[in-house]
Amino acid sequence: MSNLFGMLYTGVSGIMASQVAMDVVGNNLNNLRTPGYSRQMVSIQSKQPIQTVYGPMGTGVEVTGIERAHDELLTKAVRTESSSYNYFASMQNSLGEAMLYFNELETGAGLGDPLKQYFSAWQELSSTSPDNTDEAAIKRYALLEKSETLAKQLREGYGSIETVQNNIDVKLVSNVKQINDITSNIAILNASIMSSEISGGSANDLRDQRDLLIDQLSTFATVTTNESENGQVAIFIGGQVVVDRDQSHNLEALPNPEKDGALDIYFSPVLAIGAISNAKPINITESLIGGSIAGDIKSRDELLEGYLGELDILARALINETNKVHSVGQGLLRFDQLAGNNSVSNPLFPLGSESGKLPFEISNGTFSINVYDKDGAVVNTVAIDVDPSKDTLASIADKINLSSAGMLGATIGEDNNIEIFSNSGNTFGFANDTSGFLAAAGLNTFFTGTSAKDIDISVVIQNDPEYIATGSSGAPGDNSVAKNIAGIQFTSLPGTSDRTIGESYGFFIGMLASDKSQIDTFTKTKELSFQQSVMRNESVRGVSEFEELTNMTLFQRTFEANSRYINVIDEMINTVVNGLGA
């Protein structure tokens, strides 16, 4: 059996274990609100008993370690849900910014009203055209104002979406920098953890710090982790290892030429000192499947780019359809010289080739130029045949020169556009274009530009609204051009059979609102799922104040009981040492 001194050490072991346990409880309570802290627990077991004639006799307890409450499966589930939630949250934020400009509920916002007012202004003008009255003049200026407003709204709407795209690129640069800082710190912690645990110790606080950094990393991208036997963890993003033991490899946000310079995410491995490699950074953008970075890139390249495409379809159809009608019409004034608004790369190449083509389609056909004398009588009609597979912009100019009997001249301008001028004080106008050349070249057109980004009103019309074409002949009561342009709103958009120009903006807003609603739903669902994962994980690793206070009371009572036990043993020893002699 154990002697009195052995019994004394049995009590001391209980006191020592209670002190360690109380210290851990205090540390837990102090870190009750510390981000990333995992509850720590004292591992206590019975000491090796001694064998006696009565059987094994206990010798107290011993502390075998201080462990942290941690469930790797729950931790990985939280990171997975975090990546998924942040993926949709980033798209929700981008769509929210894009919708700010197109808020139809606010006066002056959006494109719906300007588009309606544009066509209404043409309809109003058709009731007085081509009168040279004050009422008609007022309507011309009203049309010009409504048209400028529509063009401005289209440009600004397009620009607002481009701004969101540019902001995403700025955000990507910032996020990649944060990722590199995090992976660098994780590599440092890897080395510290291995150093702390290589001799059999534990690095609970260091592991908590590393887990917190990996949690932060999962908000940017889906991460995969692999822990080795020495406690170091390897981390993969987009299939590439960004942390390998005590070394980290950077990501970069670099322009992608195939996306007009928009930023993609590239992996740049760090080579060993003295190593030589010609390897280029690896584009891992397509491999990013979760996190805010993947959500931002999807918003920029798919959703926002799709909205820009819809605005371009609307603007391009509006420009081309209006200009095709307007180019063969006449206003109150005719031209003595006129330069085309559109140009080609090379005027010597066929109009159907890449270098020689104009921004709008040209087909086989004919356009006419009427030449008028000083009294407004037609003195010559020049018909020009157009074959885009053979004709160049220069050859069209040559045909005008050869066919007009010296009454007209045509040349190629400095900007590779066509310029037409009259001789001998004559004026000219256009008619009957079955080729689409006039609208494509920008001759006698209402709009300039080719997309929502650059749509504007012709400078000729801005300077003098009397050049606005309202009829095809200029004869009194001829309002055919104005009426036809007002009816363009019912023209089907190219590539669609169920959508007109007038309906296209409603479709655009519906698409934007539908996408936003869908993303809102996904974001809310993923947020709830993420919160539930966090709660499950916190139930394991989180510090409970009530539980710690209960443990504190338990260890206090254990300490007191062992203290009383030691006092009793001390009295017994005193009796043996001092009392038996008496």
Per-residue pLDDT reduced to its tens digit, 6-28: 888 888 999 999 999 999 999 99
Count Cβ neighbours within 10 Å for each residue of 255-293 and write b for 16 or more, e otherwise. Answer: eeeeeeebbbbbbbbeeeeeeeeeeeeeebbebbebbbb
Q: What is the pLDDT of residue 275?
A: 46
- For residue 185, name the pLDDT band (cuts at 50, 70, 90): very high
114-131: average pLDDT: 88
Judged against a pLDDT cut of 70, whether residue 271 lies above it is answered with: no
Q: What is the pLDDT of residue 139?
A: 93
**Nearest Cα to Cα of residue 216 among 191, 185, 192, 190:** 185
Judged against a pLDDT cut of 80, whether residue 1 lies above it is answered with: no
Please give the model's pTM, rounded to 2 decimal places. Answer: 0.86
Q: For 457-491, write each residue's pLDDT tens digit.
A: 999 999 999 999 999 887 777 899 999 999 999 98
Residue 467: DSSP 8-state? G
Q: For 46-96, write each residue's pLDDT tens digit.
A: 888 888 888 888 888 989 889 999 999 999 999 999 999 999 999 999 999
Q: What is the pLDDT of residue 476?
A: 76
Q: What is the pLDDT of residue 2?
A: 64
Helix (H), strand (E), coil (C) string for 259-318: HCCCEEEEEECCCCCCCCCCCCCEECHHHCCCHHHHHHHHHHHHHHHHHHHHHHHHHHHH
Token pair 């980033």 is found at: 90
Q: What is the pLDDT of residue 573?
A: 86
Most confident of 35-39, 196-200, 294-298: 294-298
Q: What is the pLDDT of residue 504?
A: 87
Q: For 127-170, write each residue's pLDDT tens digit.
A: 876 677 888 889 999 999 999 999 999 999 999 999 999 999 99
Higher pLDDT, 129 or 394: 394
Q: What is the pLDDT of residue 101?
A: 84
Contact (CB, 8 A) for 101 and 156: yes
Contact (CB, 8 A) for 58 and 49: yes
What are the boundaries of each domain within the chain? 4-69+544-579, 75-88+166-302, 105-165+313-511
- Average pLDDT across the chain, whole number: 91
Q: What is the pLDDT of residue 581?
A: 59
Judged against a pLDDT cut of 90, whether residue 278 lies above it is answered with: no
Q: What is the pLDDT of residue 273?
A: 45
**Nearest Cα to Cα of residue 323 among 200, 215, 190, 460:** 460
- Tokens representing 24 are 């851990």
Compute CA distances 470 → 23, 340, 366, 466, 475, whole Å: 91, 20, 22, 10, 10
